[in-house]
Each structure stands twice: as C-alpha cells, then as structure tokens.
Structure 1
C-alpha cells in the first residue's frame, strides 16, 4: 500500500498529534507499506520553530523509514484566534506544492490529519487526481474548540465554519477519530456511519511501565522521599485548564507532604509559573527528552488531568495513555457521560471541570491513601495493556487502510492471498 499522510504536526515534536502521526507512519512503514508525509517544521508546543529547522524553506528528509517533506509556515509569538488562523492558512497554502507533487506518485490512500481542516481541500484534490481514497483522521474538533474556548466569538463566523466543517467531512471516503464518542460526533455532523472508524491513540506498554524504584526525578527536583508527587505533563494551553491545578496547589500549600510538578511547554506556561512562584511545593519544568518519558511519568504518585468545562466534551487527551501505562493513580476533570469520564472513572477519580476545590480535596485524600492509589494504578495499567497497545490499535488501523484500498472482489482475493 502507498500511503500519503498530510498533517501540520510531526516528529520530532514530543507531544500531541505530531507524536502519534509519526509513530503511525513509522509503524506502517515497518510493516512493509510505502509511506510518505507532508508536514511542517517542528514548532509545537513551544510555538517557535525548533533549532536546526527553517520556518521559510522547503525541506526533505527520511525519518524512521518514512520520506518526509516539510513546507514553510508562519508561527505567531503570541497565538490568538486571528493569529492562529493565519498560522494554519500559511501552512495550507505552502504545503499545497509538495502535496501536488505526489499526484504522480499515485498513492492508494491520502490521509489528512485534523487539525487542521484548512488542509482538507488539498488532501481531497490530490486523492481525486491520483485516483486514491481520501481519509480524514480527527484528533480534535477544532471548530468546536475554537468557539468553545472563545478563540473566535462571532455567531456568523460560527455558522460559516460549521457549515464548511460538515461539507468537508462528508467528502472523505473514511473519517476516523480517537474515541467512540468523537466518532458519534462525526455521525451527528453528517458523516455516514459506515464511513467512520475509531482509531484511539496508543501507548507502548513495554516502554511506559511502572518502575520498581523511585524515579531519578525525585532527586533532580529536590523532592523529599516521603512527599507525594502530583504530576501534570503535557501541553500548556488554554483548554488544559492548568489554572485549576495551580489553584489546587494553592489550596494545599500547607501540606508539606504534597509536591506538584508541572512539566511541558505552551502559551500559558509563563502565567502558570507566575501563579505558583511563591509555593515551595511546586516545580515547573520544560519538556523532557522522549527517552526519559517513563522516568518522568513514574515520578508521579498521582497524575492530574485538569480540564476547562468549555473544552471537556471536545477531546480525548492524548496524554492519558501514558498516565495509564505508568500504573499510577489518576485524578481527572470530566463531565459525566463524556468518553474521558467513562474511561477514567472505573480506574481513577473524576471531578467536575472547573472545580478546583474538589480537585484539591481528591488529591489530598489520595495522598493519604496508599492502598487506594496502588489499586487505581493497577487498574489503569491493566486497561492500557488490554486496549491501548500499539499492536492492537495499529493492527486494526492497518486492516482498515488495506480494506480502503480494495476496489473489487478480485482485489479482496489478491489481498487475502498475500
């Protein structure tokens, strides 16, 4: 199979969509498929192009057995609703050039990754011109998120954006997303149910696993041996609701036996660091090397997953997979009835979004209850091993991709023979 993947984010970005897109592409290449990628230079979550990369030049490389073409883009120093739109449009325009070059390669499937939907027209055009199937994989409902978080607030713009979203979604041959409720949302937006597919994010449960010793980060961050560590590791943006975890840290400032570690990058990091600057119980650090991810996740006694109420129904946080695989207790903010609530509640503790006091109360209770922490962590680990391993998720994805390429019964028989 010849697969062309088209998305804004890709390795060596360490978090979010780029991480999963790269792992998927490299895994499929390792299984013998010919995979090519059109993407941007790495810039996320720091919102600046990484050292050694250019924001203004086209570049090519081979990474993990995948041929990668990178197109220029503009990255705003202070992302807002308007600047984000220009940012996304700059990549959509510049990336059309390498996308069109792949028409002659004649891929079997063109897979666009959302965000961003601004790239969907080029993906559809290339797929049609090459006689390929068009696949859209939705990591985030960006239109809902933009208006829910107030990045855009015009009612007229909302109607136009949602109309465009519905039109674009219906044009793809397959539309997938990362949770069952997000797939159900696709159907509500007008995608025919047989065209939908659930492809959850995964975690390497052999690489991310419980340690039988104390994490080295305890010593490096000067955390007392008997302190209980509450860890947030991931993007630091608006929808993460990190202000609620910072508030919980303030509410628990008198607890000398609880330490909060905030790890990541993003537009709200400076404000977060300022809000906890006077607390000896808090550590704020940048993104850590990928080879140290397991060490980092194991510094936690409790993983914290805050969320703003206006974003709580929109996404399934990708960071949750690593939390579960590490075998530590999880406290999350989620509404009842959402996929996040249904995933965490049987094997973690869930409170309502935006309720910092409830967040603090649960953290304090878990800090005092080692047996319950161990029980919740073991349940989360079992769930990760059973449902989130790369073999299980990527095997199903590969099968659907191959099925998507099949044109008639003869092709089916040929595929089965091979």
Structure 2
C-alpha cells in the first residue's frame, strides 16, 4: 500500500501527535508499505525549531525508511490565539506546494492528521486530483478546544456568529473525507454529533509499546540525577505545559503538601512553563522540581519513579482531547489522578474500570489535593491499568487493525 501522511507534527518530536505519527509511519514502512510524509520541522512542545532544522526552508530526509518532506512555517515564541492561527496558516500554505509535488506518485491513501484542520481543504483537493482515498485522523478537535477554553474570545464567544460559521465549515470539510478517524469513542461520538455518518467513522486509538514497560531498571539513579530525596514519594506530571492543562492547581497542592515527604516533579516544555516556574518561585516551594523532557529511551524509567501520575486538564479540554500521556502510564501500571468530568472519555473510563485511576473534578484544588493523597496511599503497581493497556492499546494490535481498516476503505 502507498500511504501519504500529511500533518504538522512528526518525529523526532517526543510528545503528543508528532510521536504517534512518527511511530505509525515507521511501523507501516517496516511492514512493507511505501510511506511518505509532508510535515513541518520539529518544534513542539518548545515552540522553537532547533538545529539542524530550519523554519524557513524545505528539507527532505529519510527516517526509518519513510521519506519525510519538511515545509517552512511561522513558529511564535509565545503563542496567542492570533499567532496560533498565523502559525497554522503558514504551514497550510507552504505545505500545499510540497503535497502537490507528490501527485505523480499516486498514493492509495492520504491520511490528513488534525491538527491542523487548516490543511483539510488542500488534502481534499489533492485526493480528488490524485484519485486516492482520503482519511482525516483527528488527534485534537481544534475548534472545540479553542472555544472550550475561551481562547477565541470573551464570555459571549460561545454564542458568536464566528463560532457557528467555524463549526459549519468544519462539519462540511469532515463530511467530504472517505473516512473520519479518531482516538477515542467520545471523539467519534462528537464527529457523529457534527453530522458525520456512523459508517464513515473509524476508530484508531493512540497506543503504547507495552513490552517496553514490563521490566524497568535505573529508577534510583534517575531519582538521584533529578535531585529527588530518596525517601520521598513522587507525584509526576510529564508532557506539554500549556494553557489547557491548568497546572497552577498542582502548584497550589504542592504548597499545601510542603511538610509531607512528597516531591512534585514536572517534566516537559510548553507555552505555560515560564509562568508555572515563576509561580513556584514566588511561593518558595522546595518540593517542586522542573525538568526538560528526557530522551524517549528513558521514558519507562521516568514513569517508574512515580508513585502518583498526574493527568491534569482544565474544564472543557477533556471532552476534546484524550491525553496521549495516559497510554504509557497505563502500560507501566501506574497509579494516577485524572482531572475529568464524569461524562468525558476519561470520566467514563474510570467508571467502566473502577480503580484504573482516581478521578477528580477539574480546576478543583481541594479535590486534587484529596485525590493525590488517596493515590499515594495505594500500592505503586496498578494491575488493572496494565491489563487494560495490554488488552486494548498495544501498538502491534492497534496498527494491524489500522491496516485492515485502510484495506476496507480501498476495497470500496
């Protein structure tokens, strides 16, 4: 099968969508498929393009047998709503040139990864001209996240004509793809609510390489490297530090737990990190440690040092986004505290599999404080979490099902 993947994030990004797109394409290439990718230089979650990549030029490279074509884009140092829109538009414009250079290659399937929705009109035009099947894979509902977090306006933004028009355009674009896939049942339900027919939907969850998390060593060495007192329990947040996480609540809880033998370890980068570090400094907290992202091969060890994993999001964010960090937490058999409302995907997961995690209401410092306390009293290993990961989100199983789904699309 010849597969062309079109999306703004790709390897070697270590977190989020870029990680999954990179692993997907590498697996497909290793299993005999021809794969090409049109993407941007890696910039996430630092919001900075580092050498040897450049935000100003086109570049082609090969990664794990995949031809990767990088396109220039604008990357704001401090993203705001307007700057994010300019950022997404810049990639849509520059990438269209490289995408249409692949018309003569004639792929069987084009997979357009959201974000960014800005690329979907270009993807649909390419699919029509090349006569290939089109799949739009939704990792994040951009509009839902934007309006849910109030990033697009004031308190009346939910009733604005701009919002209604934006969702109408989104619904029309989604309906034109041969398949609409997403990473959770609630996100597929949301697509259905947007007017996408059930037979047009395709389940394609994020995964974990569960075998990597079965036997982990080096935890004491890593704790010493991060200056964590050996007798302390660890409450770990690892991932993007952005607007939708609302990690200020973690700092508030850390302040209340200064006398406890608990270290709050916050690992990652993002637009909100500077503000979070400043808040911890203002409170003179000695039990909060910040660390940049560690190399991917150290991830199992990092997750293994945690007595409590923090999956933190603001209200409204959990409806639109299923945190990718949770897959590896489940695979390691970690105990976790999840901030989510009952009706969200995360909330329903906790209801369906009791004790898989401790669920608390988002943006509630008291509830988070209580939840972390409960989590730290539990055994470090959570068999329910690891069994779920092995059964439902193992990478090999998920990828084989994707190939079967794509072959079904091609046969129609």
**What interval of TM-score do these two structures reach, taking the shorter chain for normalisation?**
over 0.9
The within-5 A match list for 1:30-41 is 30-41=30-41
Contact preservation (8 Å) 1:210, 1:298: no
1:67 to 2:71 alignment: no
CA distance in 2, matches of 1:90, 1:64: 27
Query: Is 1:238 the equivalent of 2:243?
Result: yes
8 Å Cα contact 2:219/2:302 also seen in 1? no
Taking structure 1 as the reference length, the TM-score comes to: 0.94
Contact residue 217 and residue 301 of structure 2 kept, 8 A = no
Distance 1:214 1:116 in 2: 37
Partner of 1:388: 393
Flag as ranges the 4+ runs of structure 1 deviating above 6 A. none
Are 2:295 and 1:289 aligned? Answer: yes
1:183-219 superposed Cα distances (whole Å, 9 cap, x missing partner): 0111110111101011110000111335366442211
Alignment of 1:305 with 2:305, yes or no, is no
Counting only pairs closer than 5 Å after superposition, residues 132-281 of structure 1 correspond to structure 2 as 132-153=132-153, 154=157, 155-209=160-214, 211=216, 214-255=219-260, 257-277=261-281, 278-281=284-287
Q: Is residue 399 from structure 1 mapped to residue 411 from structure 2 by the alignment?
A: no
Q: Aligned equivalents of 2:213 and 2:124: distance in 1?
A: 37
RMSD value over aligned CA atoms? 1.3
Unmatched runs of 5 consecutive residues or more in structure 2? none
SS of the aligned residue for 1:391 comes to helix
Q: What is the alpha-carbon distance in structure 1 between the residues aligned to residue 26 and residue 217 of structure 2?
A: 31
C-alpha distance in structure 2 between counterparts of 1:331 and 1:321, whole Å: 14
Tell me the secondary structure at the aligned position of residue 210 of structure 2. Answer: coil
Count, aligned residues? 402
Call closer, same or farther: CA 1:40–1:28 in 2, change over 3 Å: same
Render the CA deviation track for 1:240-259: whole Å, top value 9, x for unaligned. 1211111111121221x111
Cα pair 1:210 1:326 within 8 Å, conserved: no
Contact residue 137 and residue 176 of structure 1 kept, 8 A? yes
Instruction: Call closer, same or farther: CA 1:324–1:215 in 2, change over 3 Å.
Output: farther
The worse-fitting range, judged by mean Cα deviation, of 275-284 and 229-238 is 275-284
Pairwise CA distance, 1:51: 2.0
1:101-135 deviations in Å (ceiling 9; x for gaps):
11111111111000101000111111111110110
Q: Secondary structure at the match of 1:332?
A: strand
Task: Name the SS of the counterpart of 1:60 in structure 2.
Answer: strand
Q: Matched residues in 2 for 1:169 and 1:366: separation?
A: 40
Tell me the distance in 1 between the aligned counterparts of 2:399 and 2:350.
22
2:108 counterpart of 1:108: yes
Instruction: Report Cα offsets for 1:132-183 as digits up to 9, x if no partner.
Output: 0110000011011111112212412211211110010000000000001100
CA distance in 2, matches of 1:397, 1:339: 21
Alignment TM-score, normalising by the size of structure 2:
0.95
2:366 aligned partner:
357
2:307/2:380 contact within 8 Å kept: no
Q: Which residue of 2 aligns with 1:42?
A: 42
Q: CA deviation at 1:348?
A: 1.1
User: Does the CA-based 8 Å contact 1:100-1:126 persist in structure 2?
Assistant: yes
CA contact (8 A) 2:219 2:301 kept: no
Indicate the SS of the match to 2:337: strand
Distance 2:297 2:55 in 1: 26
- 3-state SS in 1 of match to 2:60: strand
Question: 2: distance between equivalents of 1:304 and 1:52?
Answer: 34
The residue that corresponds to 2:10 in the other structure is: 10
Distance 1:36 1:259 in 2: 44
Cα pair 1:215 1:295 within 8 Å, conserved: no
Structure 1 unaligned runs (5+)? Answer: 408-418
| CA–CA distance in structure 2, aligned partners of residues 221 and 264 of structure 1 | 13
Name the SS for the 1:158 alignment partner: helix
For residues 358 and 258 of structure 2, the distance between their equivalents in structure 1, rounded to whole angstroms, comes to 21
- In the TM superposition, what is the alpha-carbon distance from 1:307 to its structure 2 partner? 1.2
SS in 2 for 1:400: helix
